Amino acid sequence: MLAVAPRQDGADLLLSVPGVFAARAEGLAVGQRINLRGFDADHGQDIELSVGGLPVNLPSHIHGQGYADLGFLIPEVVQRLQVTEGVADPRQGDFAVAGSVGFELGVDQRHRGWRIESGYGLYDTFRQLVMWAPEGERDETFGAVSYRHTGGYGQRRDGDTASAIVQAGSRSGDWRFRGLGILHGARANLAGVVRRDDIEAGRIGWYDAYPDATAQAQNALAARFMAGFFGDYHGEGGDGGGFGLWLGADTFRLQENFTGFVQRSQTLADTAGRGDLIEQRNTTLSAGLTGRYRTEAWEPWEWVAARLEIGLDGRFDSVEQAQNLLGMPRNQTWDTRVDASILATNVSLWGDVDVTLAEIVRLHLGLRGALLLYEVDDRLGNFVPLVRPRDTFIMGFRRSAGGVVVGPRASAEVKATEWLTLRAGYGEGYRSPQARTLDDGETAPFTTVRSGDVGAVFSHEELVRVTVSGFWTELSDDVAFEAREGRLERIGASRRVGAVLYVQARPLDWLLGSLSATYVDARLLEPPPATADDPQPAFVPGQSLPYVPPVVIRADVGVHGTLIEDLLDQRLTGRLGIGYSFLGPRPLPYGGTADVVSLFDASAGIGWGPVDLGVSLYNLFDTQWAASAFYFSSNWDPTGIPTRVPTEHVAAGSPFTFMVTLGVSP
Amino acid sequence: MLFSAGCVEAATESTTIELTLAGADASAPFEGRDGAMITLERADVAFGPLYLCAGYTAGELCEEALAEWRDATVIDALDPTPTAPVAMNALTGTAHSYMYDLGIVSLLTEDAPLVTPAAESLGPASAVVEGRVAIDGQTIPFTVAVRVEQTETASRGTSVVRSGESESFDHAIEPEGRTALLVRIDPRPWLATASFRGLLEDATCAPGADLVCSGAIEQRCAEDGTVAETRDCASLGQPCLRGLGCVDHVELDPEGQIGRALRTGLSAGTRPTFEVSYR
């Protein structure tokens, strides 16, 4: 399905995953907003994402725990998506709350060789791709470079991004080795959010940014380097194993003003109202390893086969992060909110017993445990407020904390008939904490997730495949976006109960279609109680979880085939694809509700020998939709009577746009 | 299944409050400090903006308000008839405190306060009070206009009048605009601590004095301190005021004791009554 509907970037491939909706609300340099099975993984914190075995989520990131930006992905080199919904697999680690998505990279044998592709479209959008996959080599050997520039729709949405991915694979006896390197950089201006009441009153346009200096200074920069070396062993007796070593470096800087003019400096006396331009900086240096070994099958009887697989993975992260308030001109710092260094260590061990009974029943029984350690140098900890200038201590709060989390994982699959497979799974996973929230010696309060699934798969050869599943997930501590700090904050325990229908059909060789529909009832169980600082909390027990659409629908239909078998000694092929996405009304804090999202995309193309020409159309009917919708108080009228009642804010999603692409594969 | 998806349950919801403002029937004379009998003839106050807050302490802890009326209007505080209703933008919940300005609004972003058109029309001022005060056998027609504004730098951007922590304020804001709020302002307590006796004197000429009042008798003094000329203000239907002599009417210094007392009365004295009803 990956090739059916148009994809603007690699993360859009997630739209092929049942129940997933992904959108870029903050430009080219900030991670996508991903919805999956009732989780609003604002920037990926609830989905364990990996690319070619390299983990993408960043622990204790300033913009959101588990922050993940898939902007480095080049869709043309994504060969396969490995999706695990729920947490029933012991291989799933940190951030696998809604599930895990692994992008496998490669270029299949049909597309090997050179490929040069240029695209140009609306809003001065240009994309250049150069890809090289040497013929005769394995799928995983390739190099690809992509550059993209856009003038951006509306105001202040221009940006540039470039990615380079190199992967090489080789084989030596029972071992296969693979080296992978990824380099990515992006910088983009941001329009930020605008108040819906300002739009409705005609004070600002849907695609505009506020004219104030601190709104016009919103931008983001992201750069990332990842490299890994992996080895896989396939023994003749069915045993196997592997190892992986990887390194990563990521830097992120964001300037974004959500609330206009409501902030006061905690550092400088009598300084307030200079514009709430939040600066977030985060640099993460990471190193990690993985290893696993699977035994040969133990077959005490002819109808029983059992294997044991054990594995480990671990990572070490050094994080430097800061959050400040900036004012104009020249980004003067007028308040400091975060200044911290974090050293995080995560060592995990897992085991999985795989039992096959008469080739009908397959059971997995597993366990995963993790030890997480944190050393935090919170340089603004024990903050000395302005009203207590003569305290008896120096600002700063250095501390360490650690904790262990262990959870069972189990799944069962029964091949009831040739066309019916029944599945069930249960798992207990975790999300590591934002280290700055930990106290000294605190047993790390992992966010634990308990998740169960039942489902059935009906399949008839390659003609049709229907998957129906129900899921239940309880999370001990959910998070939601907090506008005043511009990041995710804890909102208490939550529960999701829902169902997914996924239909994939290939009624004709040249016709492929899929439909996924997800319904979820997502509720907040124990939001933080009212306090003096927050006397009217945005959330009450039992309410719908904010930002989570109760219904997500995605449909794709694609046709492809040969138009003329021999045209000037070359075959002329054609393709046409249509995709449709629907998001139900997203509940917002304070009782707001975001509008439904209903979007059509389409693509068409012809290929003649080494040349292909395509056009991709996004948001076909030019629907005005909010890529993000929030509910909080802000004041964007610095010289008028301030408003204090929370209201809806939106970040406009992309209007109709198109891109024409010319590709040559000599 | 799809139909139920449209029903989203939440903690609060947007609504409006029907806000009306009214004065009090305060045209009858009332007793002030020192036994003064005060008759008000005009009590115009610029009222607004008004915020209702969820917390028990308004001010900086009311950065997110439950309800707001972002305007100001001049209220005739002597007229008990409610003004035409206006809509307050609100969320459902329970308000435990309030805060408001008197036409002059401190902004977080500006050093100088915002003077609303309502306050501008009064001078600019937050309140203009006119009346007559009878004290010690004299009747003093007076006018006083004061500005009430946030002066604490640390509190910049917050309203100047806030409900006290001990003040009982507990009003539910119901959905679908079912809540009506009547703010009734009684001007009489504003002058509770004003001392009009200080306007009078019972002195006689002395060296260095130019003009004194001996009760209701105006004395103009010679250089040697003797009385050069006298005038009976009472016979003119006028009071004799310290430093002014016989006058028809006095415009009081907003920084004088009465002006300060009025400002204190407006900002920290008896608060308006907040009458909430539901439809």
- pLDDT (tens digit, 9 = 90+) per residue, B106-133? 999 998 999 999 999 999 999 999 999 9
- CA-closest candidate to residue A378, choices A339, A404, A415: A339
d(CA B165, CA B56): 6
Q: Tell me the β-bridge partners of A130.
A: A116, A145
A645 contacts B68? CB cut-off 8 A: yes
Expressed in angstroms, the distance from the first to the final Cα of chain B is 35
- Quote the minimal CA–CA distance from B228 to chain A in Å: 57
* Closest residue by Cα to residue A241 from A293, A311, A313: A293
Q: How many CB atoms lie within 10 A of CB A666?
A: 9
Exposure pattern of A98-110 as b/e (b: 16+ CB <10 Å)? bbbbbbbbbbeee
Counting every residue, how long is chain B? Answer: 279
Q: What pLDDT is stored for residue A361 in this prediction?
A: 97
pLDDT in tens, A574-604: 999 999 999 999 988 877 789 999 999 999 9
pLDDT reported for residue A41: 62
At B4 the pLDDT is 40
Say how many CA atoms lie within 13 Å of A401 toward its Cβ.
22
Is B53 an 8 Å CB contact of chain A?
Answer: yes
Cβ of A639 within 8 Å of Cβ of B109? The answer is: yes
pLDDT at A485: 75
Which residue type, as a one-letter code, is found at position A54? Answer: L
Contacts of B116 in chain A (CB under 8 A): 641
Summarize chain B as % helix, strand, coil (round to 5): 15, 40, 45
The full DSSP string for B189-251 is GGGTT--GGGG--B----TT--EEEETTEEEEE-TTSSEEEEEEGGGGT--EETTTEE-S-EE
Whether residue B237 is predicted with pLDDT greater than 70 in this model: the reply is: yes
pLDDT tens-digit series, residues A87-105: 999 999 999 999 999 999 9
Instruction: Name the pTM for this structure.
Output: 0.91
Contact B90 A590 (CB under 8 A): no
* Three-state secondary structure call for residue B62: helix
CA distance B152 to chain A (A): 10
C-beta of residue B6 within 8 angstroms of C-beta of residue A584: yes
Q: Which residues of chain A have pLDDT under 70?
A: 1-6, 41, 385-391, 532-533, 535
Judged by CB atoms within 8 Å, which residues 161-220 of B form the interface with A? none
Q: Which of A538, A635, A642 lies at the smallest CB-CB distance from B11?
A: A538
CA-angle at B24, arms to B21 and B25, nearest 5°:
145
In sequence order, the 6+-apart residues with CB closer than 8 A to the CB of B72 are A641, B46, B47, B48, B49, B101, B102, B103, B105, B116, B117, B118, B119
Looking at the complex, does the CB of residue B30 fall below 8 Å from at least one CB of chain A?
Answer: no
Per cent of chain B over pLDDT 70 is 96
- Which residues between 102 and 131 in chain B have a beta carbon less than 8 angstroms from any beta carbon of chain A? 105, 107-110, 114, 116
Cβ distance of A535 and B96 shorter than 8 Å: yes
Distance, in Å, from the CA atom of A432 to the CA atom of A403, rounded to the nearest integer, reads 10
Task: Say whether residue B66 is in contact with chain A using an 8 A CB cutoff.
Answer: yes
Tell me the one-letter amino acid at A2: L
Whether pLDDT at B6 is above 50: no
pLDDT attached to residue A386: 65
Question: Are A535 and B63 a contacting pair at CB < 8 A?
Answer: no
pLDDT digits (tens, 9 = 90+) for A201-239: 999 999 999 999 999 999 999 999 999 999 999 998 889
Instruction: Return the ∠ at Cα B179 (arms to B175 and B183), rounded to 5°.
Output: 150
Phi/psi of residue B117, each to 5°?
Answer: -55, -30
pLDDT at B76 over 80: yes
Amino acid A390: pLDDT: 62
